[in-house]
């Protein structure tokens, strides 16, 4: 089966974190991903760290896609970053609005991701493949599902080549979203974002904040395990592998793993899916 596989990291802030990520990345190399992506703190807060990880990935012979968010930034600042990317041979960007850090009141010169995509195209033509974010369960600040869909389409018209979704655990939400997008005559690949479940209580807190739904049957099952880490691990693997199987069987063109800088769960899921060799 040939699908697009990618894995996301966040840029570590410490020397130990950087060394640990290198080790985890070496394990993930077994998946032969199409690219590794590296997140970017809104307002440029991780600019140097993101770029450092991107350069390390490229030096290891992999394609690296930096994320770039526009909120709180100026056009001149974004232009400078695009120049830096271009000079380093980067050819893929995940383009986002980002979220304003608390205490930061200024949205900046580019307010939404569609404006960033437009700006990247105007400044650099077709140098970069541009990937945008998609929300099968809708963006938490969306005025309505219809408005969110229209805003997604706006990003594609501005020149996005592909989209990666927010994570979700309900395959029907993805199929419904893709159907809606196709009805708007948008044909770009929409890659499901997959969050392996390693620490359920942390995931539950995080999901509430970003608007990702954890279905009641999954939540209840995890809660029933209490501190039983082995049962949590085993059930998490079953749930996410099952989700991926349904998505791929239903035509998803690839999988993007939110690794949280840990290789184990992502590698195990891919082995179960037959996407890489089992040791």
Binding mask 225-264 for ligand FAD (x = CB under 6 A): ----------------------------------------
What are all long-range contacts of 198-202, with beta carbons under 8 Å and residues at least 24 apart? 198/233, 198/236, 198/260, 198/262, 198/264, 198/265, 200/225, 200/232, 200/236
Piece of the chain touching ligand FAD by CB under 6 A; list 78-86, 91-99, 223-231, 240-248:
91-99
First-to-final CA distance of the chain: 19
Q: State which H helix or E strand residue 96 sits in.
A: strand 92-96
Q: Are 96 and 68 in contact (CB under 8 A)?
A: yes
Q: How far is the CB of 258 from ligand FAD (least distance, A)?
A: 8
Residue 5 or 164: the one with the smaller Cβ distance to ligand FAD is: 164
Q: Is 206 in the site for ligand FAD (CB under 6 A)?
A: no
Q: Is 98 in the site for ligand FAD (CB under 6 A)?
A: yes
Angle between the 113-124 and 145-157 helix axes, to the nearest 10 degrees?
A: 0
Residue of 21, 35, 36, 39 interacting with ligand FAD (CB under 6 A): 39
Q: Give the Cα separation of 67 and 177 in Å (integer).
A: 23
8 is catalytic: yes
Catalytic residue among 8, 24, 118, 137: 8
Q: Are 257 and 25 in contact (CB under 8 A)?
A: no
Query: Interaction with ligand FAD in 119-138: which residues (CB under 6 A)?
Result: 133
Q: State which H helix or E strand residue 130 sits in.
A: strand 129-134
Piece of the chain touching ligand FAD by CB under 6 A; list 148-156, 172-180, 217-225, 238-246:
148-156
Piece of the chain touching ligand FAD by CB under 6 A; list 34-42, 76-84, 176-184, 197-205:
34-42
Q: Give the Cα separation of 265 and 108 in Å (integer).
A: 38
Residue 147 or 234: the one with the smaller Cβ distance to ligand FAD is: 147
Q: Is 145 in the site for ligand FAD (CB under 6 A)?
A: no
Could you tell me which of 97, 253, 256, 251 has the C-alpha nearest to residue 164?
A: 256
Residue 156 or 241: the one with the smaller Cβ distance to ligand FAD is: 156
| CA dihedral sign, ordered 190, 239, 261, 62 | negative
State both tokens at 73.
């930034």
- Interacting residue ranges for ligand FAD, rule: CB under 6 A: 39-40, 42, 67, 69, 94, 96-99, 112-114, 133, 139, 141-142, 147-148, 151, 154-155, 164, 166, 193
Instruction: Provide the annotated active-site residues.
Output: 8
């Amino acid at each position: 089966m040939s699908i697009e596989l990618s894995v996301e990291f966040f840029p570590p802030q410490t020397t130990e974190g950087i060394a640990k990520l290198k080790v985890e990345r070496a394990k993930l190399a077994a998946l032969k991903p199409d690219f590794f992506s590296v997140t970017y703190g809104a307002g440029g807060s991780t600019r140097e760290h993101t770029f450092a990880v991107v350069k390390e990935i490229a030096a290891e012979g992999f394609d690296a896609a930096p994320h770039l968010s526009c909120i709180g930034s100026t056009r001149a600042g974004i232009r400078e970053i695009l120049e830096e990317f271009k000079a380093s041979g980067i050819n893929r960007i995940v383009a986002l609005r980002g979220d304003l850090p608390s205490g930061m009141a200024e949205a900046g010169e580019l307010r939404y991701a569609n404006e960033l995509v437009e700006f990247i195209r105007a400044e650099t033509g077709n140098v970069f493949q541009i990937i945008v974010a998609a929300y099968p369960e809708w963006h938490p600040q969306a005025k309505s599902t219809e408005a969110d869909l229209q805003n997604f389409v706006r990003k594609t018209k501005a020149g996005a080549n592909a989209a990666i979704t927010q994570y979700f655990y309900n395959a029907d939400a993805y199929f419904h979203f893709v159907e809606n997008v196709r009805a708007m005559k948008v044909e770009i690949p929409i890659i499901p974002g997959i969050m392996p479940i390693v620490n359920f209580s942390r995931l539950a807190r995080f999901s509430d904040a970003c608007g990702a739904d954890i279905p009641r049957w999954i939540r209840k099952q995890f809660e029933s395990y209490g501190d039983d880490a082995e049962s949590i691990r085993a059930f998490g693997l079953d749930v996410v592998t099952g989700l991926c199987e349904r998505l791929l069987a239903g035509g998803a063109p690839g999988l993007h793993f939110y690794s949280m800088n840990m290789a184990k769960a992502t590698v195990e899921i891919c082995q179960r899916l037959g996407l890489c060799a089992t040791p």
